[in-house]
């Protein structure tokens, strides 16, 4: 697998050559980074011509992404808003000399920390709790869709990603999911899981992949549109 770059004015496109059948062009949130995957042996001039033919589409996608709302960086203080599974909760921070713990009821998230814990420490405790929610939710979804799709996921991994909601290593049968999905409605997490699991059958976003997604998750276009319309995580 080889990688290079195409420069079209101010636009930089990362080009990867690997064993695929078709060219695939993607514009990734949040910043609108552009990647192009082409079959091994494709001449760079051919890849460049393809990218030029898609310039209008690329600009449209980037404009939509840049107009998308960004989350305000959180300070992890009392009465701050946080989202879990698409619902808004108010945070209450309690300092006490006991092991840190996070609890959630129907309207509030309570973050118990040791006295003097700074924002970085509070965030680390909170993110560990978020990951625990994902680890509770993801395995049953994978098991359900393994039976539906007829594939086997050998492992999944969580990662806080800026440009993707998920990814798939079809050779190892591993999927990787963005930890930010814990903030979104559960059905959007499910859509991303199904999307990545179908890559175990078809690694590229070609017509076969779209047909499989239509077959197994007919509402995927609506889910994708909703996911991409929700606020994006913004690093401090």
pLDDT digits (tens, 9 = 90+) for 146-159: 999 999 999 999 99
Per the structure, the complete domain to which residue 46 belongs is given by 2-67
Residue 75 lies in a domain: no
Among candidate residues 32, 67, 102, the one where a domain is terminated: 67
- Do residues 49 and 112 both lie within one domain? no
What is the Cα–Cα distance from 142 to 149, expressed in whole angstroms? 10
Q: Are 161 and 175 in contact, with CB atoms under 8 Å apart?
A: no
pLDDT digits (tens, 9 = 90+) for 129-141: 999 999 999 999 9
- Do residues 161 and 88 both lie within one domain? yes
pTM score over 0.85: no
Residue 236 lies in a domain: no
- Do residues 109 and 52 both lie within one domain? no
**Residue 68: per-residue pLDDT:** 61
- Do residues 199 and 166 both lie within one domain? yes
- Do residues 148 and 200 both lie within one domain? yes
What is the Cα–Cα distance from 98 to 83, expressed in whole angstroms? 26
**Order of strands, sheet of 174-178, starting from the edge strand that comes earlier in the sequence:** 155-159, 174-178, 166-169
- Do residues 56 and 114 both lie within one domain? no
- Do residues 110 and 43 both lie within one domain? no
Residue 215 lies in a domain: yes
pLDDT digits (tens, 9 = 90+) for 31-43: 788 999 999 999 9
Q: How far is CA 55 from CA 10, 42, 51, 60, 61, in A?
A: 12, 19, 6, 9, 10
Q: How far is CA 17 from CA 28, 51, 119, 223, in A?
A: 18, 14, 43, 30
- Do residues 50 and 114 both lie within one domain? no
Q: What is the CATH number of the domain that holds 88?
A: 3.30.2010.10
- Do residues 52 and 166 both lie within one domain? no
Number of structural domains in the chain: 2
Main-chain dihedrals φ then ψ at residue 124, nearest 5 degrees: -60, -40
Name the DSSP letter for residue 151.
Answer: -
- Do residues 111 and 63 both lie within one domain? no
* Position with higher pLDDT, 18 vs 152: 152
Q: Are 97 and 113 in contact, with CB atoms under 8 Å apart?
A: no
Residue 221 lies in a domain: yes
- Do residues 56 and 105 both lie within one domain? no
What is the Cα–Cα distance from 27 to 109, expressed in whole angstroms? 35
Q: Are 112 and 94 in contact, with CB atoms under 8 Å apart?
A: yes
pLDDT digits (tens, 9 = 90+) for 161-211: 877 899 999 999 999 999 999 999 999 999 999 999 999 999 988 899 999
- Do residues 105 and 172 both lie within one domain? yes
Among candidate residues 42, 67, 92, the one where a domain is terminated: 67
pLDDT tier at 217 (50, 70, 90 boundaries)?
very high
pLDDT digits (tens, 9 = 90+) for 54-102: 999 999 888 877 666 556 678 999 999 999 999 999 999 999 999 999 9
Residue 33 lies in a domain: yes
């Amino acid at each position: 697998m080889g990688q290079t770059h195409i420069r079209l004015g101010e636009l930089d496109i990362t080009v990867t050559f690997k064993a695929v059948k078709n060219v695939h062009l993607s514009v990734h949130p949040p910043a609108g980074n552009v990647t192009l995957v082409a079959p091994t042996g494709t001449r760079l001039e051919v890849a460049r011509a393809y990218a030029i033919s898609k310039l209008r589409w690329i600009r449209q996608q980037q404009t939509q992404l840049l107009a998308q709302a960004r989350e305000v960086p959180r300070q992890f203080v009392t009465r701050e808003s946080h989202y879990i599974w698409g619902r808004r909760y108010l945070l209450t921070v309690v300092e006490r000399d006991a092991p840190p713990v996070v609890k959630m009821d129907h309207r509030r998230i309570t973050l118990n920390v040791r006295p003097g814990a700074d924002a970085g420490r509070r965030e680390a405790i909170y993110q560990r709790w978020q990951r625990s929610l994902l680890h509770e939710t993801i395995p049953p979804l994978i098991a359900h869709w393994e039976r539906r799709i007829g594939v086997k996921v050998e492992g999944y991994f969580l990662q806080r990603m800026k440009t993707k909601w998920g990814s798939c290593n079809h050779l190892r049968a591993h999927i990787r999911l963005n930890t930010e999905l814990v903030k979104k409605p559960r059905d959007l997490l499910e859509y991303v899981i199904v999307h990545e699991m179908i890559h175990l059958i078809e690694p590229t976003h070609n017509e076969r992949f779209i047909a499989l997604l239509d077959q197994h998750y007919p509402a995927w276009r609506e889910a994708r549109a909703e996911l991409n319309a929700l606020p994006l995580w913004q690093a401090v």
